[in-house]
Structure 1
Amino acid sequence: MASGGDKKARLIDVELDESIGRSTPDVEHERAVAIFDLIEENSFYPVGDAVGGPYRLKLSLVESRLVFAITRENGEEVAIHILSLAPFRRVVKDYFMICESYYQAIRSATPSKIEAIDMGRRGLHNEGSQTLKERLGGKIEVDFDTARRLFTLVCVLHWRG
């Protein structure tokens, strides 16, 4: 088991396969920011990999499933894991709805209302992150902060602008 501080148990690159598709410039920007944040700070370890990373991750979509193709820095294949997106549909939908409420509230609501909506938004984000961490369990070891960054990326992949 790799420790969170292990420089080898981390992602150094995240690529979105052409199956993800391209979107509006705003969505593409949000995707780039989510990837940057994930690469900047993460703890990522494919369970059972005795050699270690650092790792590259290529994400693709196949029949409503998110495919994690993991390689080493030199391109050597490590693992491929397929994750159903069905368990995330409700939380992603709810997350987008509360984000929309949050952005509307910023324009006209009281600070206490904005704070309450933001707490709900963070709660949903945490719920989605925990679900992702659990779904990756036994396949890919990530800490909660990395799960949060990955969940942000999953959300941005759903966003069509």
Structure 2
Amino acid sequence: MAEGGANSTDRLVAVTLDQDSIGYAAPDVEHERRVAIYDLVEENRFAPEGGHEGPFALRISLVDQKLALQIMREGGDEVMTHLLSLSPFRKILKDYFLICESYRNAIKTSSPSQIEAIDMGRRGLHDEGAEVLLERLKGKIAIDHPTSRRLFTLICALSWKG
């Protein structure tokens, strides 16, 4: 369902990955990708600038180290393609994966307060990534903060090597 009273057509109803450019990953990584896509499609606000009428489908591919976000109407008519450079996300992703690894290790041996502190750091990095994404899409694709977080989760899943 669209959030915040947004027009119900300002949303994604499908997200697909171009396996030719992105490729398949280990089963646990593929699972994370499927979950991220499900969460994104389940609840989002997504509208390409320019008054295009949705709902929309999104096809993601990798072109020259950039994510190509091909936006189509639900029926398949192409609306636009936006190339999203991954360079601004590299440090955030690196730090995010390191803290996720610390979190997985902490669950085994650390106190609840230590685990909570690590998880707060993880959430902070996730918010930072979502803010960078909002800024990078500004003026091109209108999304809200929760959608930006979900889309950043998908970027993480696409970047994770397992």
Match runs of 1:1-161 below 5 Å:
5-18=6-19, 19-50=21-52, 52-161=53-162
Stretches of structure 2 that go unaligned for 5 or more consecutive residues are none
Tell me the CA shift for residue 6 of structure 1: 1.3
Provide Cα deviations, 1:18-63, integer angstroms capped at 9, x if missing partner: 211101111101000000000000000000134x100000000011
Tell me the CA shift for residue 5 of structure 1: 2.3
Contact 1:4–1:143 (Cα < 8 Å) also in 2:
no
Please report the TM-score for the alignment, with normalisation by the length of structure 1: 0.96
Tell me the CA shift for residue 13 of structure 1: 0.2
Provide Cα deviations, 1:108-152, integer angstroms capped at 9, x if missing partner: 101110010000000000000000010000100000000000000
Q: What RMSD, in angstroms, separates the aligned Cα atoms of the two structures?
A: 0.9
Tell me the CA shift for residue 88 of structure 1: 0.2
Q: Structure 2 counterpart of 1:32, which letter?
A: R
Q: How many residues align?
A: 158
Q: Structure 1 segments of 4 or more deviating over 2 A? A: none
